[in-house]
Chains A and B, each alone.
Chain A
Amino acid sequence: MSEIAIDVKNLTRNFGKFTAVDHITFSIAYGEIFGFLGANGAGKSTTIRMLCGILSPTSGDAIVAGYHVSTHSEDIKRSIGYVSQRFGLYTDLTVEENLQFYGRIYGINGNAAKARIDEILKMTGLSSWRSRLAGELSGGWKQKLGLANALLHRPKVLFLDEPTAGIDPLSRRAVWEILYQLADEGVALFVTTHYMEEAERCNQIGFISAGQLLKIGKPSELKAEISANLLEVECEPLMKASQVFSRIPEVVGLTAYGTTLHLNVTDSRAAEQAVARAAQKENIHVTSIKSITASLEDVFASLTKGARE
C-alpha cells in the first residue's frame, strides 16, 4: 500500500465552454480500491476516459501506472484494464473466442494464451461457460466475462465503470470477491458506483460533483465528519414536518428515510431545540430526536446538496 498507482494533479477537461472536470487532485496506491462517486453527468466518465488515455486533458496531468496520460497514452493502455458498464464484448463470439481475441491484441498467443485463459476462467468461475456464446450469458456472467477480459494481460491498474449495475446481489458479491483478491495481489482498482453499500467496501472514496472533487477520504472518516451534525427525527405528518423543518436556519439539509427525517445541521444542540420548538408551534407530533451515525448515503446527500447551493 505504498507505491502510487494513479497520481492526479489539477486534471481539467473542457468541452467548449463547459468544464466537465475541474482541477481535480487525488492519488491512489497499488492494492487500494478507490470508489468514485457522483451523480450522472458529474464528470466521472470524463475522468476515467482521461485516466485510460483515450481523452487528453485540457490542463493538469495524471500519472497512471508510471506513465503520463498526456504523453504516454499507448503505454498506459498496455498496463491498464477497463470494465465498461455496458457489455463491450462480442455477443456472437464464445466466451473463449472473446478472450482469445483480446489476448491476441495484448500479444498473448499460443500456449501462453491457453494457460492464461484457463487461469482467468477458473478465477472468475467461468470455466463451464467457455464454449457458450457471450450473448447467451446472463447479466452477472457477462459482467464476470468483462472482468475476466480486462484481467487477461495482468494490468496493474483496473478501471471499473459501474461494474455491478443491474446484476443480482449474489453475482455482485462474487464480483467483489474477485476485486478484493486483485487488491490483495497489489492491483489498484478505480471503481465508479451508485451503490452506497458498494462504496462502503472501498478503501477510499471521492465525491465528484459538477466536475469538482468535493471530498475524498476513507468511508469511516467521511461518515464521522458529518455524523457530528446529523439528527434523526421521528415524527408525523412527515410531509408537513419536512416543509417546516427545512425552514429552520440551523438545518442545511433534509432527507426522508421511511418514517424518519435525517437533518444535516450546523449545530446539533441548537438545531434540536429549534426543531422541538417548530414542531410544537406547527402541531407536528415528534416521537424522538437523536444524533445518529451517518451512512454513506447521508454523506452523499449532504455533499450533493451542498454543491447545488
Chain B
Amino acid sequence: MNNIKAIAIKEFIHIVRDRRMLMMIVLMPLIQLLIYGYAINMDVKHLALVVYDQDQTYLSRRLIAAFQQSAYFDVKENLQDATSLRRSLDRGKAKAGLLIPPDFTKEILSGRGVNVQLLIDGTDSNPANVALSSSQAIVSAFVQKEGLLSAEISPLDFRPRLWYNPDLKSSYFMIPGLVGLVLQLFIPMITASAIVREKERGNVEQLLVTPIKSYQLILGKLIPYLCVGVVMYLLIIVAAHLLFGVPIRGNPLTLFALTTLFLTVCLGIGLFASTIAENQQQASQIVMFFASPSILLSGFIFPRETMPTFVYYIGNLIPLTYFVKIIRGVTLKGVGLFDLWDQVIPLMIMAVVILWFSISRFQKRLN
C-alpha cells in the first residue's frame, strides 16, 4: 500500500510539473467541446432560399412568409426569372428555389389546384432531406391555416412526437458522446506515455532493484491517471451543461460510476500500448491508430444501425460504442443502471480482459 502511494504521489508531481500536460488536460476537452458544440452544427436551419414569385398576390406573399418564418429557410432574394433562380442553385448561393406560377391565387380559389415547385440542391443529402421534409410541413400548415382545405376530416390523425431531444439539437446528441471520445483518446495516451517514459529514461532500471512489486508499480501509475480522467470528465460535463444546456436527466452518480468503469478500460488500453511501444512517440501513435475507427464506428457521429454487418461488429469491439449509449442514456433519456446492462456488461468484460492481459504482458516485459 505504501509503495502504491509512493508511486502515485510521485506521479502527481510529474503531472503538476508538466505544464504542457496540464494545458492538455484542461484545454483539450474544452476546445473539442467548442468545436463540436458550436462549429460542427448539424442542425439544418436557415437554408438560403431564393424565390421567383410570378403571381405577386396577397396569398403568394403569405406562402413566402410561411417559409421565411419557419426558421428552416431564409429568403435571400426575390428573382424576376427562372434562369437566375437556376443559376443561384448552380452557384451555391441558394440551397433551394421556390417557383410560384402566375395564376397561383386564381387557380387555388377556383378549386382546381395548382403546382408550386421547390428546387432543392441535393448535393449534400442531409440539408436536402431537411429542406424536403420541412417544406412539406410548411406547405401543409399553410394550406390548413389559410383555410384552403375542404372541411372533410382526415380518417387518420397522425401525430408523431419527438422524445428526449424535441428540438433535435445536434449539440445534445454530440456533446455527451464527445465526453467519451475525449476520454478514450486522451487517457490511454497519457497513461501509455507516462509508463513508457519511465522505461525510456532508465527509471525502471532503478526501480527494479527496489523491493517494489510490479502490481504496485502499475496501480501507483494508473490511479493518478484515473483521477485525471475524472477531472476531465467533470470539466466537460459541467461545461456542456453550462454552455450548451445539455441536460442530465438521470442520476449523476450512476453516470459517474459508469464513467469510472469506462476510464478503467481506457487505462487498460494505455497500459497495453505501453507494453508494445518503445518510446512515447510510438505510444501515442498506437493510441491515435484507434482514434478514427472510434470516431466513425462507435455511433458517436453516425448511426450504427445502418452500417454493414461486418463494420457493425467491429464497432462492438470499441469501448466508446457502449459508453456513448450509456452517457446519452443517462443525460438525455434519464435512464438508470437497469436499462443500461447491455452496455455495462461488455464494458466490464473489456475492463477485466484488457487489464489482465496488459498486466501480465507488463510483468513479462519487466523480467
Contacts and interface: CB of A to CB of B under 8 A. Distances in A.
A is bound by B: yes
Interface of A: 52-54, 74, 77-78, 80, 82, 84, 86-93, 97, 101-102, 104-107, 109, 149, 159
Interface residues of B, number: 22
A101 B6 CA distance: 6
B243 interface: no
Contacts of A90: 10, 14, 201, 203
B209 A82 contact: yes
Interface in B1-49: 2-3, 5-6, 9-10, 13-14, 17-18
Contact of B206 (A82, A97, A107): A82
Contacts of B201: 88, 90-91
A91 B201 CA distance: 9
B2 A101 contact: no
| B10, B203, B205, B211 interface centre (most CB from chain A within 10 Å) | B211
B205 A86 contact: yes
B117 interface: no
B206 A84 contact: yes
Contacts of A77: 209-211
Contacts of A107: 2
Nearest to A75: B211
B10 A93 contact: yes
A93 B16 CA distance: 11
A86 B211 CA distance: 20
Contacts of B10: 90, 93, 97, 101
A109 B14 CA distance: 20
A52 B13 contact: no
Given A101-B6, A104-B2, A88 B211 contact: no
B210 A105 contact: yes
Contacts of B3: 104-105
Nearest to B204: A88
11 contacts: A52-B209, A77-B211, A86-B202, A88-B205, A88-B206, A89-B203, A91-B201, A97-B10, A101-B10, A105-B210, A109-B2
Given A89-B203, A101-B6, 19 more contacts: A53-B209, A54-B209, A77-B211, A82-B206, A82-B209, A84-B206, A86-B202, A88-B202, A90-B10, A92-B18, A93-B13, A97-B10, A102-B210, A104-B3, A104-B5, A105-B211, A105-B212, A106-B210, A107-B2
Contacts of A89: 203, 206
Contacts of A88: 201-203, 205-207
Interface of B: 2-3, 5-6, 9-10, 13-14, 17-18, 201-203, 205-212, 367
A80 B209 contact: yes
Given A97-B10, A101-B6, A104-B3, A84 B205 contact: yes
| A88, A89, A106 interface centre (most CB from chain B within 10 Å) | A88
B200 to A, nearest CB: 11
Contacts of B208: 52, 54
Contacts of B207: 88
Given A78-B211, A107-B2, A109-B2, A101 B9 contact: yes
B202 to A, nearest CB: 4
Nearest to B5: A104
B5 A92 contact: no
Contact of B202 (A74, A82, A84, A93): A84
Contacts of B211: 74, 77-78, 105-106
| B3, B202, B210 interface centre (most CB from chain A within 10 Å) | B210
Contacts of A82: 206, 209
Contacts of A86: 202, 205
Contacts of A97: 10, 13
Contact of A92 (B6, B17, B202): B17
A201 to B, nearest CB: 24
A149 B203 CA distance: 13
Nearest to B198: A90
B2 to A, nearest CB: 6
A80 B206 CA distance: 12
Contacts of A80: 209
Given A104-B2, A104-B9, A87 B202 contact: yes
A34 B18 CA distance: 41
B186 to A, nearest CB: 20
A82 B3 CA distance: 18
A17 B113 CA distance: 95
B224 to A, nearest CB: 13
Contacts of A52: 208-209
A194 B325 CA distance: 63
Given A104-B9, A107-B2, A92 B14 contact: yes
A56 to B, nearest CB: 9
A104 B212 CA distance: 10
Nearest to A102: B210
B223 to A, nearest CB: 15
Contacts of A54: 208-209, 367
A106 B207 CA distance: 11
A30 B276 CA distance: 42
A54 B207 CA distance: 11
Nearest to A54: B208
